[in-house]
Amino acid sequence: MTRLLAERAGLGLLTLLAVSALLFFGTNLLPGDVAAALLGQDATPEALHNIRAALGLEQPAWLRYLHWLGGALHGDFGTSLTSARPVGAQVLPRLGNTLLLASLAALVSVPVAVGLGLLSAMREGGLIDRLVSLLSLVTISVPEFFVGYVLTLVFAVQLGWLPSLAVMHGGMSLAERLAAIALPVATLVIVVLAHMLRMTRSALLAVMSAPYIEMAFLKGLPRGTVVLRHALPNAAAPIIAVVALNLGYLVVGVVVVEAVFVYPGAGQLMVDAVSKRDLPVVQACGLVFAATYVGLNTIADMLAIIVNPRLRRPR
Amino acid sequence: MALQHPKSGYVTSVGGVDRRGFLQAAALIGGVAGAAGGLTLAGCSVPDDTPASPGGALRLGMVGGSTSDVLDPRTFIDWVPINIGYQLMNGLVEIDAAGDARPELLEEWESHTVTEWVFKVRRDVVFHNGKTLDADDVIYSINLHRGDTRSPAKVVLENVLDIRKLDANRIKITLAAGDADLPATLSDFRLLVVPDGFTDWANPIGTGGYRLESFEPGVRCITRKTGQYWKPDAAHVEAIEIIVINDPVARVNALISGQVDVINRIDGRTANLMKRNARFQVLRSQTGQYAVLAMNCESDPYRNNDIRLALKYAIDRASIVKTVLNGYGTVGNDQPIPPGNRYYDTGLGQHIYDPDRAKFYLKRAGVNRLSVTLQASEAAFSGALDVGVLFQAAAARAGIELQVKREPVDGYWTNVYMKAPFCASYSDGRTTVDGALSKAYRTTSSTNDTNWRRPAFDELANQARAETDPAKRRTLYGACQRMIAEEGGALIPMFMDHIEAGSQRVQGWRPSAIFDLMGQRIGEKVWLKS
């Protein structure tokens, strides 16, 4: 099993390396080079040359890639082209905000989703199961910004309990931060909950129709024990995969929620950078997002191997 | 102005000498009445303010900020940095609510010929670092935008030949061509004053009423009162907080839930809803901002003026103002001077929706059925695609098949604007007629987006700019407007008002003649009802 795990980890690193190359060369393929984008209408040949030299753009692309990758490994992502501030210093606080939002949303949504999924699988066809199915269908069908607007309308505008803006800054206490972040967290929980819940339920039910489960029932075991002891470990792989996918989404895909609640996360930073063609910032954000996604999926793969009895003891 | 604006556009030029400033400044050139004055102010609320009282924090929820913002005036292109700039620093000349030039750091001016101007620098003004303002600071600050610079204000100062220090408190500006409105030209929002040699743009030192406390680009900015501001009756609130809220719904929600006191840029429908709630005030400023559908006069079929005229008569402007703007705007007449401006030519006939007349021009152009494509995006102006669709329906009745091609917002100004033969764009209001004419209609303008070149027009505009007699000037500017309307490539369907909203706590808040939020100077002007 150790070999299998090491293989997965190695594959993850390779994927990340490939993504980094794709990111670097992809952004370099964008029409018009950085110097021209910076100068706009004032692009004289002399000015272009000066900027290219200053940014080291006259070196071959592969050399620049290696420099960039080496810097990135040390946490040095270069300097922003538009604001001349170090990219790392811009990305890090934003990434912190994004991770805070994502981890709080995950903390609430993962247990609730898996718990409710288990419950409705155990009570298949019962009142709870049907209710949960209906609600999850509703939440999976509405776009996230709509959920955000409805929550804002009810809790911020009508009731006035929570702030509609989730602006975060240095001088805030933990309680203030939690209050500010409550609505975006609730929005994200609602958005990701249904997906994980339905996956848990259907993965469990698929396993429940297997002969060995029938055997367990025939032995006289109660339904709860059958589900938790015999079905769940075998259904874990797809559940873990969908949880990892949703965690990844929570980190990299929440630009819309950030915009609705004016939350200073990394997604908004990347969108701003793309519109200003600030490539170092785009590359740094892209790399951080890719690392998150690849990392989460690799961990999910490894977890699936660890919890699955058949993979754990290969013949 | 949502998103970015690489249009090196909005040259805030010029205004005029205002009436009060006129007396104070004893300007010698009599008769140079301010050009843009008379921009009517259609305030929605009747001012009923409490007496000015100090204290409190003003919270502005604004669109127009991004993570790449820097507080260097040479980079100013969007509303949030501009607003912060005016909190920290002062301009050379201010534009008042009537659209006239008023002294700011330049307290008096005089000119015997309209090519040589002498300005007096205000005495006893102190920078945040303790330095006293003098002529060197002013010259340094202006020269940041001249010569080898990336500042968009460079075009505003292109007419300036030389700036010379006469003594510690006087400077002399020499122009290449006469400009009777130079003081108003110097009101450009990028011409902010810093100490001589200043370069630390992360923490600008100015003469403004507020000092930078914290600045998180694209998120939040806080400034605090210095307590020793040279302007009388200004800088009332203790602190100013700007929260960047680019999403329009989030902006309105933030105001309703009481997290901000003032928001900018709301649409007509929202304005009508907000007006029904007594907790809020809605302000409407007519600043001469207009939408334009630009036809390239050097490409077919727009090369033919009859085709251009046919299109100008095939659009229903009145219904566009009513439906797209909810009435918050004025019908345009294919020239950039808004009705209400003192040089607006009332004798010029209005281009109305007249399918028969459009057909007449098509026939004269020898075309039976005309098929054209309008490239538009919400980046051009909010509602541009709606305008396109309404235009399409109206033009069909005139035998014109108009396709509306939706272009992506991202990259619109680099990929479509000035490249497509027929595309949507917009222009901010100017404080002088010359500013509005220079921007897109002179042969030499770098943003001449219709490629309309008429040496006769340039000559006329130059004459008008240097003319000090108001009656003669009116005649010249009238001729300019007629030329653009009848021969130009700009189809200007409407002038669009700026609408902003805020809580009733905010006092002393007025519509402005230039931009919104009192010309972005709201911070030092308003106070809060306790």
Range B292-314 average pLDDT = 95
Q: Inspect the interface and report whether the beta carbons of A165 and B218 lie closer than 8 Å.
A: no
Nearest chain A CA: its distance from B197 CA (Å): 20
Nearest to B257 among A90, A164, A281 (CB): A164
Q: DSSP letters of B314-367?
A: SS-HHHHHHHTSTT-EEE--SSSPPBTBTT--TTSPP----HHHHHHHHHHTT-
Q: What is the pLDDT of residues B117-133, one digit of tens each?
A: 999 999 999 999 999 99
Q: Which of residues 97-116 of A touch B (CB under 8 A)?
A: none
Neighbours of B172 (CB within 10 A): 15
Amino acid at B74: R
Q: Could you give the count of Cα atoms lying within 13 Å of B204 in the half-sphere of its Cβ?
A: 26
B213: pLDDT confidence band, cut at 50, 70 and 90?
Answer: very high
Q: Which residues contact A205 (CB under 8 A, 6 or more apart)?
A: A121, A124
Residue B417, CA distances (Å) to A33, B378, B380 in order? 20, 13, 9
Residues B307, B110: Cα–Cα separation, whole Å:
47
Closest-approach residue (CA) in chain A for B69: A83
**Which pTM value belongs to this model?**
0.85
Q: Give the nearest chain B residue to A274 (CA atoms).
A: B410
d(CA B219, CA A261): 12
Question: Is the pLDDT reported for residue B317 higher than 60?
Answer: yes
- Between CA B524 and CA B234 the distance in angstroms is 5
- Does the beta carbon of A160 lie under 8 angstroms from any beta carbon of chain B? yes
* Contact state of B68 with A261 under an 8 Å Cβ cutoff: no
pLDDT of res. A38: 60
Q: What is the dihedral of CA A227, A231, A233, A236, to 10 degrees?
A: -100
Which token pair is B495? Answer: 């002038």
Mutate to test the interface with A, among B219, B242, B243 (most CBs of A within 10 A): B219
Q: Is B445 on the interface with A (CB under 8 A)?
A: no
Distance CA A133, CA A122 (A): 13
Q: Determine, for residues A275 and B245 on separate chains, whether the beta-carbon distance falls below 8 Å.
A: no
Strands B57-62 and B262-263: parallel
- Kindly give, in sequence order, each residue whose CB lies less than 8 Å from that of residue B461, ignoring residues fewer than 6 positions away: B434, B437, B438, B441, B442, B480
- For A245, residues 6+ apart whose C-beta sits below 8 A from its C-beta are A297
DSSP 8-state secondary structure symbol assigned to residue A41: G
**Binary contact (B150, A39; C-beta < 8 A):** yes
Contact B246 A259 (CB under 8 A): yes
pLDDT-derived band at B20, boundaries 50, 70, 90? very low
- Annotate B193-218 with b (16+ C-beta within 10 A) or e (fewer): bbbeebeeeeebbbbbbbbbeebbbb
Task: Give the pLDDT band of residue B313 (cuts 50, 70, 90).
Answer: very high
Task: Take residue A10 and report the two structure tokens written for it.
Answer: 């190695």
Of A40, A42, A149, the CB nearest to B249: A149
| pLDDT higher than threshold 90 for residue A171 | no
Q: Which range scores top for mean pLDDT: A32-41, A244-253, B127-136? A: B127-136
Q: Does A262 touch chain B (CB under 8 A)?
A: yes
Between CA A117 and CA A123 the distance in angstroms is 10
Whether A235 and A308 have beta carbons less than 8 Å apart is answered as no
A111: closest CA among A206, A238, A196, A208? Answer: A196
Q: Does A258 touch chain B (CB under 8 A)?
A: no
Q: Which residue has the higher pLDDT, B46 or B64?
A: B64
Residue B402 φ/ψ, nearest 5 degrees: -105, 120
Residue A233 has pLDDT above 90, yes or no: no
Q: How far apart are CA B88 and CA B222, in angstroms?
A: 11
Tokens of A72: 């990135």
B258 to chain A, any CB pair closer than 8 A? The answer is yes
Q: Which of A262, A263, A277, A285 to mutate to test the interface with B (most CBs of B within 10 A)?
A: A262
pLDDT of A34: 62
Q: Kindly list the residues from chain B whose CB atom is less than 8 angstroms away from the CB atom of residue A182.
A: none
Hey, is the C-beta of B69 within 8 angstroms of any chain A C-beta? yes
B112 at interface of A, judged by CB pairs closer than 8 A: no
DSSP code per residue over B35-63:
SSTT-----SSPP-PPPP----EEEEEES
pLDDT band at A314 (very low <50, low <70, confident <90, very high): low
Cβ neighbours of A279 in B, within 8 Å: none
Summary mean pLDDT of chain A: 84
Reduced to 3 states, what is the DSSP secondary structure of residue A256?
A: helix
Q: CB distance from A86 to chain B under 8 Å? A: no
Beta strands B116-121; B170-175: pairing state: antiparallel
How big is the A-B interface in CB pairs under 8 Å?
Answer: 90
Compare A63 and B215 and report the one with higher pLDDT: B215
Mapping DSSP to helix (H, G, I), strand (E, B) and coil, where does residue A83 land? Answer: coil
The chain B residue lying nearest A167, using CA atoms, is B219
Residue B9, pLDDT > 90, answer no
What are the φ/ψ torsions at residue A10 (nearest 5 degrees)? -60, -45
Mean pLDDT across A160-173: 82
Residue B5: pLDDT over 60: no
Residue of A nearest to B256 (CA): A157
The answer to whether the CB of B520 falls within 8 A of the CB of B86 is: yes
Cβ proximity of B363 and B350 under 8 Å: no
Question: Pick from A39, A260, A273: which is nearest to B250 by CB?
Answer: A260
The answer to whether the Cβ–Cβ distance between B243 and A42 falls below 8 Å is no
Please state, in angstroms and rounded to a whole number, the distance separating the CA atoms of residues B142 and B193: 8
The closest CB to that of B259, out of A90, A165, A260, belongs to A165
Contact A164/B4, CB-based, under 8 Å?
Answer: no
Q: Give the DSSP H or E segment for A34.
A: helix A34-39
A225 close to B (CB below 8 A): no
Determine, for residues B254 and A262 on separate chains, whether the beta-carbon distance falls below 8 Å. Answer: yes
Q: How large is the average pLDDT for residues A32-46?
A: 59
pLDDT at B31 over 60: no
- pLDDT for residue B316: 96
Closest-CA residue to A262 (of A183, A190, A176)? A183
Chain B residues touching residue A273 (CB < 8 angstroms): 67-68
Give me the pLDDT at residue B24, please.
37
Higher pLDDT, B124 or A5: B124
Structure tokens at A100: 């805070």
Q: Across the interface, which of B214, B245, B257 has its CB nearest the CB of A262? A: B245
Contact B220/A at CB under 8 A = yes
Q: Does A92 touch chain B (CB under 8 A)?
A: no
Check residue A37 and give its pLDDT: 59
Q: Is the pLDDT confidence value at A121 over 90?
A: no
CA distance B54 to A39: 44
Q: What is the mean pLDDT of residues A10-37?
A: 80
Instruction: Please give the pLDDT value at position B40.
Output: 37
Mean per-residue pLDDT, B19-40: 36
Res. B461: pLDDT tops 60 = yes
Q: What are the chain A neighbours of B258 within 8 Å (beta carbons)? A: 160
CB A91 within 8 A of CB B76: no
Is A84 near chain B, with CB under 8 Å? yes
**Least trusted range by pLDDT, from A282-291, B228-237, B344-353:** A282-291
Please give the pLDDT value at position B6. 37
pLDDT confidence of residue A36: 62
- Mutate which of B245, B257, B280, B410 to disrupt the A interface (most A C-beta within 10 Å)? B257
Confidence (pLDDT) at A268 = 85
Q: Provide the total of helices (H) and of strands (E) in chain B, helices listed first.
A: 16, 21
Q: What is the pLDDT of residues B468-516, one digit of tens each?
A: 999 999 999 999 999 999 999 999 999 999 999 999 999 999 999 988 9
- Among the partner-chain residues B68, B247, B250, the one whose CB lies closest to the CB of A276 is B68
Alpha helices in B257-300 (DSSP H): 268-275
Instruction: For residue B42, name the pLDDT band (cuts at 50, 70, 90).
Output: very low
pLDDT of residue B35: 37
At B14, list the tokens: 């010029």
- Tell me which range, A143-147, A161-165, A302-306, B421-425, is most confidently predicted by mean pLDDT: B421-425
Instruction: Identify whether the C-beta of residue A250 lies closer than 8 Å to the C-beta of residue A258.
Output: no
Provide ipTM, 2 decimals: 0.80
Residue A271 sits at the chain B interface (C-beta within 8 Å):
no
Tokens of A1: 């099993």
Distance from CA of A263 to the nearest CA of B (A): 8
Report in angstroms the alpha-carbon separations of A269 from A31, A42, A143, A222, B41: 21, 26, 22, 52, 38
pLDDT for the residue numbered B496: 96
Strand-pair category, B329-331 with B490-496: antiparallel
Tokens of A161: 């309990």
Task: Record the tokens describing residue B282, joined without a space.
Answer: 């809605």
Partner residue facing A80 (CB), from B68, B214, B249: B68
- Looking up tokens 């001449």, which residue turns up? B448
pLDDT-based confidence at B165, cuts 50/70/90? Answer: very high
Q: How many residues does chain A have?
A: 315
C-alpha to C-alpha distances, A245 to A109, A298, B93, nearest whole angstrom: 13, 11, 57
Q: Average pLDDT of chain B? A: 88
Interface test with A, best of B253, B280, B414 (most A CBs within 10 A): B253
Q: Give B455: exposed, middle or buried? Use CB within 10 Å, 0-12, 13-18, 19+.
A: exposed
Q: Can you give the C-alpha Rg of chain A in angstroms?
A: 24
Closest CA to B316 of B398, B227, B391, B241: B391
Max mean pLDDT among A49-53, A177-181, B167-171 falls in B167-171
pLDDT of residue B286: 92
* B66 touches A: beta carbon within 8 Å: yes
